[in-house]
Structure 1
Amino acid sequence: MSQELYTNLAIFVLSLLVGFEVMSKIPATLQTPMMSGANAIHGVVVVGAFAIAAEANNWYFYLLAFLAAFFSAVNVSGGYTVTDRMLGMFNRPKDKPADSKKEGDQ
Protein backbone atom coordinates (compact mmCIF):
# COMPACT_ATOMS: atom_id res chain seq x y z
CA MET A 1 0.00 0.00 0.00
CA SER A 2 1.16 3.50 -0.76
CA GLN A 3 1.76 6.33 1.67
CA GLU A 4 -1.06 8.33 0.09
CA LEU A 5 -3.55 5.54 0.86
CA TYR A 6 -2.43 5.44 4.50
CA THR A 7 -2.75 9.21 4.74
CA ASN A 8 -6.25 9.19 3.23
CA LEU A 9 -7.31 6.32 5.48
CA ALA A 10 -6.00 8.15 8.57
CA ILE A 11 -7.90 11.32 7.59
CA PHE A 12 -11.06 9.27 7.05
CA VAL A 13 -10.80 7.56 10.45
CA LEU A 14 -10.05 10.85 12.22
CA SER A 15 -13.05 12.51 10.54
CA LEU A 16 -15.26 9.65 11.73
CA LEU A 17 -14.03 10.06 15.30
CA VAL A 18 -14.40 13.84 15.28
CA GLY A 19 -17.88 13.57 13.73
CA PHE A 20 -18.96 11.07 16.37
CA GLU A 21 -17.68 13.30 19.18
CA VAL A 22 -19.38 16.39 17.78
CA MET A 23 -22.68 14.56 17.25
CA SER A 24 -22.65 13.10 20.75
CA LYS A 25 -22.31 16.58 22.29
CA ILE A 26 -25.37 18.03 20.52
CA PRO A 27 -28.62 17.98 22.54
CA ALA A 28 -31.44 15.81 21.21
CA THR A 29 -33.63 18.86 20.50
CA LEU A 30 -31.10 20.13 17.96
CA GLN A 31 -30.44 16.81 16.20
CA THR A 32 -33.22 17.14 13.63
CA PRO A 33 -32.42 20.69 12.47
CA MET A 34 -28.73 19.98 12.28
CA MET A 35 -29.12 16.72 10.39
CA SER A 36 -31.65 18.15 7.94
CA GLY A 37 -29.26 20.96 7.14
CA ALA A 38 -26.38 18.52 6.82
CA ASN A 39 -28.38 16.36 4.42
CA ALA A 40 -29.03 19.36 2.23
CA ILE A 41 -25.34 20.30 2.28
CA HIS A 42 -24.45 16.80 1.15
CA GLY A 43 -25.31 17.84 -2.36
CA VAL A 44 -21.54 17.71 -2.83
CA VAL A 45 -21.99 13.95 -3.14
CA VAL A 46 -23.95 14.59 -6.33
CA VAL A 47 -20.85 16.28 -7.76
CA GLY A 48 -18.81 13.24 -6.69
CA ALA A 49 -21.24 10.98 -8.51
CA PHE A 50 -20.78 13.07 -11.64
CA ALA A 51 -17.00 12.79 -11.27
CA ILE A 52 -17.29 9.01 -11.01
CA ALA A 53 -19.51 8.94 -14.10
CA ALA A 54 -17.04 11.07 -16.05
CA GLU A 55 -14.22 8.61 -15.33
CA ALA A 56 -16.31 5.45 -15.80
CA ASN A 57 -15.03 2.93 -18.31
CA ASN A 58 -16.54 -0.32 -16.97
CA TRP A 59 -20.09 -1.41 -16.19
CA TYR A 60 -19.41 -1.50 -12.44
CA PHE A 61 -18.22 2.12 -12.47
CA TYR A 62 -21.42 3.07 -14.29
CA LEU A 63 -23.42 1.18 -11.67
CA LEU A 64 -21.48 2.89 -8.87
CA ALA A 65 -22.08 6.30 -10.45
CA PHE A 66 -25.80 5.59 -10.81
CA LEU A 67 -26.12 4.41 -7.20
CA ALA A 68 -24.13 7.38 -5.90
CA ALA A 69 -26.26 9.83 -7.86
CA PHE A 70 -29.51 8.15 -6.81
CA PHE A 71 -28.72 7.93 -3.10
CA SER A 72 -27.27 11.43 -2.95
CA ALA A 73 -30.35 12.85 -4.67
CA VAL A 74 -32.58 11.03 -2.19
CA ASN A 75 -30.44 12.36 0.66
CA VAL A 76 -30.59 15.95 -0.57
CA SER A 77 -34.33 15.91 -1.25
CA GLY A 78 -34.95 14.25 2.11
CA GLY A 79 -32.96 16.97 3.84
CA TYR A 80 -35.06 19.66 2.22
CA THR A 81 -38.28 17.80 3.02
CA VAL A 82 -37.39 17.39 6.69
CA THR A 83 -36.35 21.03 6.93
CA ASP A 84 -39.61 22.17 5.31
CA ARG A 85 -41.72 20.05 7.65
CA MET A 86 -39.74 21.23 10.65
CA LEU A 87 -40.11 24.89 9.71
CA GLY A 88 -43.83 24.29 9.14
CA MET A 89 -44.19 23.56 12.85
CA PHE A 90 -43.31 27.19 13.61
CA ASN A 91 -46.13 28.70 11.52
CA ARG A 92 -48.99 30.27 13.39
CA PRO A 93 -52.34 28.55 12.92
CA LYS A 94 -54.64 30.36 10.52
CA ASP A 95 -57.57 32.17 12.14
CA LYS A 96 -60.98 30.81 11.22
CA PRO A 97 -63.74 33.26 10.35
CA ALA A 98 -66.06 33.97 13.29
CA ASP A 99 -69.27 33.55 11.30
CA SER A 100 -68.55 30.01 10.08
CA LYS A 101 -70.30 27.22 11.94
CA LYS A 102 -68.74 23.97 12.98
CA GLU A 103 -70.39 20.71 12.08
CA GLY A 104 -73.08 19.80 14.56
CA ASP A 105 -73.66 23.41 15.67
CA GLN A 106 -77.23 24.61 15.20
Structure 2
Amino acid sequence: MTDVLYLYIFMLAAFTGYEVISRVPVILHTPLMSGSNFIHGVVLVGAMYALGHATTPLQIALGFLAVLLGAANAAGGYVVTERMLAMFAPKTKKKLPAGEQGA
Protein backbone atom coordinates (compact mmCIF):
# COMPACT_ATOMS: atom_id res chain seq x y z
CA MET A 1 0.00 0.00 0.00
CA THR A 2 2.77 2.45 0.81
CA ASP A 3 4.40 1.94 -2.61
CA VAL A 4 1.18 3.03 -4.30
CA LEU A 5 1.02 6.07 -2.01
CA TYR A 6 4.61 7.04 -2.86
CA LEU A 7 3.90 6.62 -6.57
CA TYR A 8 0.79 8.79 -6.22
CA ILE A 9 2.76 11.52 -4.42
CA PHE A 10 5.51 11.39 -7.06
CA MET A 11 3.00 11.67 -9.91
CA LEU A 12 1.19 14.52 -8.18
CA ALA A 13 4.47 16.37 -7.61
CA ALA A 14 5.57 15.83 -11.23
CA PHE A 15 2.25 17.10 -12.60
CA THR A 16 2.24 20.12 -10.28
CA GLY A 17 5.85 20.95 -11.13
CA TYR A 18 5.16 20.76 -14.85
CA GLU A 19 2.11 22.99 -14.57
CA VAL A 20 3.96 25.58 -12.47
CA ILE A 21 7.07 25.71 -14.69
CA SER A 22 5.09 25.83 -17.93
CA ARG A 23 3.42 29.04 -16.77
CA VAL A 24 6.65 30.90 -15.97
CA PRO A 25 7.15 33.92 -18.25
CA VAL A 26 10.20 33.82 -20.51
CA ILE A 27 11.78 36.80 -18.73
CA LEU A 28 11.93 34.81 -15.48
CA HIS A 29 13.68 31.73 -16.85
CA THR A 30 17.18 33.00 -15.96
CA PRO A 31 16.39 33.69 -12.27
CA LEU A 32 14.55 30.38 -12.09
CA MET A 33 17.60 28.62 -13.54
CA SER A 34 19.82 30.26 -10.92
CA GLY A 35 17.50 29.04 -8.17
CA SER A 36 17.57 25.51 -9.53
CA ASN A 37 21.38 25.65 -9.60
CA PHE A 38 21.27 26.34 -5.86
CA ILE A 39 19.08 23.26 -5.38
CA HIS A 40 21.55 21.19 -7.43
CA GLY A 41 24.28 22.32 -5.06
CA VAL A 42 22.25 21.11 -2.08
CA VAL A 43 21.69 17.77 -3.85
CA LEU A 44 25.45 17.52 -4.40
CA VAL A 45 26.11 18.06 -0.69
CA GLY A 46 23.58 15.32 0.10
CA ALA A 47 25.29 12.96 -2.35
CA MET A 48 28.67 13.65 -0.74
CA TYR A 49 27.17 12.96 2.69
CA ALA A 50 25.70 9.68 1.44
CA LEU A 51 29.02 8.70 -0.14
CA GLY A 52 30.82 9.47 3.13
CA HIS A 53 28.57 7.05 5.00
CA ALA A 54 28.62 4.27 2.36
CA THR A 55 29.89 0.90 3.55
CA THR A 56 29.29 -1.67 0.80
CA PRO A 57 30.91 -1.55 -2.65
CA LEU A 58 27.50 -1.01 -4.27
CA GLN A 59 26.75 1.94 -1.98
CA ILE A 60 30.17 3.43 -2.70
CA ALA A 61 29.71 3.04 -6.47
CA LEU A 62 26.23 4.56 -6.41
CA GLY A 63 27.41 7.37 -4.11
CA PHE A 64 30.34 8.13 -6.40
CA LEU A 65 28.04 8.17 -9.42
CA ALA A 66 25.63 10.50 -7.58
CA VAL A 67 28.44 12.90 -6.70
CA LEU A 68 29.82 12.81 -10.25
CA LEU A 69 26.47 13.44 -11.91
CA GLY A 70 25.44 16.02 -9.32
CA ALA A 71 28.66 17.98 -9.83
CA ALA A 72 28.27 17.86 -13.61
CA ASN A 73 24.66 19.00 -13.33
CA ALA A 74 25.48 21.91 -11.02
CA ALA A 75 28.49 23.05 -13.07
CA GLY A 76 26.59 22.77 -16.35
CA GLY A 77 23.71 24.77 -14.90
CA TYR A 78 26.03 27.60 -13.89
CA VAL A 79 27.64 27.61 -17.36
CA VAL A 80 24.23 27.82 -19.03
CA THR A 81 23.12 30.59 -16.67
CA GLU A 82 26.29 32.56 -17.38
CA ARG A 83 25.72 32.27 -21.12
CA MET A 84 22.10 33.33 -20.75
CA LEU A 85 23.08 36.37 -18.71
CA ALA A 86 25.73 37.27 -21.27
CA MET A 87 23.00 37.55 -23.90
CA PHE A 88 21.50 40.45 -21.93
CA ALA A 89 24.79 42.25 -21.26
CA PRO A 90 25.22 45.60 -23.02
CA LYS A 91 27.21 45.30 -26.23
CA THR A 92 30.48 47.20 -26.35
CA LYS A 93 32.10 48.22 -29.61
CA LYS A 94 35.68 47.16 -30.17
CA LYS A 95 38.06 50.03 -30.82
CA LEU A 96 40.07 49.73 -33.99
CA PRO A 97 43.71 50.75 -34.11
CA ALA A 98 44.32 54.34 -35.27
CA GLY A 99 45.37 53.34 -38.81
CA GLU A 100 42.20 51.29 -39.51
CA GLN A 101 39.52 53.89 -38.71
CA GLY A 102 39.05 55.18 -42.26
CA ALA A 103 36.01 53.11 -43.24
Q: For structure 1, which runs of at least 5 residues remain unmatched after alignment?
A: none
The alpha-carbon distance between structure 1 residues 98 and 63, as it changes in their structure 2 partners (threshold 3 A), is closer
Give matches, 1:23-102, under 5 Å: 23-27=21-25, 29-30=26-27, 32-33=29-30, 34-97=32-95, 100-102=98-100
Alignment partners' CA distance in 2, 1:44 and 1:8: 23
Alignment partners' CA distance in 2, 1:59 and 1:49: 16
Alignment partners' CA distance in 2, 1:52 and 1:6: 26
- 1:21-53: CA deviation from partner (whole Å, max 9, x where unpaired): 1122224x2474223531343211112212321
- Conservation of the 8 A alpha-carbon contact between 1:36 and 1:82: no
Which SS does the other structure have where 2:98 is aligned?
coil
After TM superposition, the score normalised by the length of structure 1 is 0.71
Alignment partners' CA distance in 1, 2:10 and 2:52: 24
Q: For structure 2, which runs of at least 5 residues remain unmatched after alignment?
A: none
Which SS does the other structure have where 1:43 is aligned?
helix
**Correspondence for 1:17:** 15
After TM superposition, the score normalised by the length of structure 2 is 0.73
Moved over 3 A (4+): 5-11, 95-103
The alpha-carbon distance between structure 1 residues 7 and 30, as it changes in their structure 2 partners (threshold 3 A), is farther
Displacement of 1:72 in angstroms is 0.8
Which SS does the other structure have where 1:42 is aligned?
helix
Q: Percent identity?
A: 39
